[in-house]
């Protein structure tokens, strides 16, 4: 997997889609004064999140905390699907900025940022990894490095879309891996893991288990949208 590709796509998006021309949620025309690429109406209706929605279930997961930007639901589903499924990669720039601001709200320390990987064949078909793009933008906003090569997904898991949380965990068991040559880079470190959406926590849990088995001291999930208890309909 070419770890340079998210950065290349990020630069291409900046050329093709200048910042803040259209609202990333409804598509209405906006101007440079509209922060985060949202019109006044959409910025008011989005369900902003401040707390970890998985707090009551944390003993079930390998990750240690969740830092969400919004609650997953109808108001943000179009943005998530646009970025993930419909090639609207320009959305990643503004979401990455939101992720960076979410990080700055926290006092907890972390050492290295990475992203939930895709299997190389799925990434080839899609053309990009949306989580890696978000991590690249967030890292650029924060002025830190992003290491999207620390996790790989060596096997195909199939679609998780119709699976409940128990089935997803079974399908994702050992699906992610830290390459042997990268283990020293995360040993004893707290990893900030970036993804676009987290609904059941299964994907983040599988990634966190792989990171901790490779020696990571802790894993915090940084995601755009999260909603604990949502059991069907998303690959997360």
Asked if the structure places residue 16 within a domain, the reply is no
pTM comes to 0.86
Domain membership flag for residue 42: no
Residue 54: inside a domain: yes
Can you give the CATH number for the domain in which 145 is found?
3.40.50
Q: Spell out the alpha helix ranges (H) of the chain.
A: 5-16, 40-45, 74-85, 91-104, 120-126, 130-142, 165-172, 183-186, 202-213
Whether residue 211 is contained in a domain is answered as yes
What is the model's pLDDT at position 230?
A: 47
pLDDT recorded at residue 169: 82
What is residue 232's predicted lDDT score, i.e. its pLDDT?
42
What's the CA gap between 173 and 167, in Å, rounded? 10
**Parent domain of 216:** 47-226
> pLDDT by residue for the chain (236 residues), tens digit each?
454 555 565 555 555 555 567 888 988 888 877 778 899 999 999 999 978 999 999 999 999 999 999 999 988 999 999 999 999 998 999 999 999 999 999 999 999 999 999 999 999 999 999 999 999 999 999 999 999 999 999 998 877 776 777 888 888 989 999 999 999 999 999 999 999 999 899 999 999 999 999 999 999 999 999 987 544 444 56
Task: Return the SS3 of 74.
Answer: helix
What does the alpha-carbon distance between residue 146 and residue 74 come to, in Å, rounded to a whole number? 30
**How many Cβ atoms sit within 10 Å of the Cβ of residue 32?**
9
Query: Has residue 94 been placed in a domain?
Result: yes
Query: Count of domains in the chain?
Result: 1
Q: Specify the pairing of strand 65-71 against strand 112-115.
A: unpaired
Output the pLDDT for position 231. Answer: 41
Give the burial string for 120-154 (b: 16+ CB within 10 Å, else e): eeebeeeebbbbbbbbbbbbbbbebebbbbbbbbe
Alpha carbon distance 30, 33 (integer Å): 8
Helices (H) and strands (E) in the chain, counts: 9, 4
Note whether residue 12 is domain-resident: no
Q: SS3 of 222, please?
A: strand
CA distances (Å), origin 147, targets 2, 3, 177: 12, 8, 14
Cα three-residue angle 10-236-23, rounded to 5 degrees: 45
- Specify the pLDDT at position 20: 63
SS3 content of the chain, % helix, strand, coil (to 5): 40, 15, 45
- Residue among 216, 164, 224, 156 nearest 188 (CA): 216
């Amino acid at each position: 997997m070419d770890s340079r590709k998210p950065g290349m796509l990020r630069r291409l998006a900046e050329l093709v889609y200048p910042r803040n021309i259209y609202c990333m949620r409804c598509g209405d025309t906006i101007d440079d004064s509209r922060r985060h690429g949202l019109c006044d109406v959409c910025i008011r209706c989005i369900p902003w999140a401040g707390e970890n929605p998985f707090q009551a279930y944390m003993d079930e997961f390998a990750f240690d905390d969740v830092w969400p930007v919004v609650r997953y639901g109808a108001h943000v589903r179009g943005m998530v699907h646009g970025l993930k499924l419909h090639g609207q990669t320009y959305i990643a720039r503004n979401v990455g900025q939101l992720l960076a601001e979410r990080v700055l709200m926290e006092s907890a320390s972390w050492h290295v940022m990475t992203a939930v990987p895709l299997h190389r064949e799925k990434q080839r078909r899609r053309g990009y990894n949306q989580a890696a793009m978000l991590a690249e933008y967030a890292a650029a906003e924060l002025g830190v490095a992003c290491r999207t090569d620390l996790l790989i997904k060596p096997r195909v898991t199939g679609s998780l879309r119709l699976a409940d949380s128990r089935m997803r965990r079974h399908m994702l068991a050992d699906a992610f891996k830290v390459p042997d040559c990268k283990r020293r880079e995360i040993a004893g470190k707290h990893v900030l893991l970036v993804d676009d959406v987290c609904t059941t926590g299964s994907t983040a849990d599988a990634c966190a288990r792989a990171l901790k088995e490779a020696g990571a001291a802790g894993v915090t999930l940084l995601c755009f949208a999260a909603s604990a208890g949502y059991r069907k309909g998303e690959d997360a």
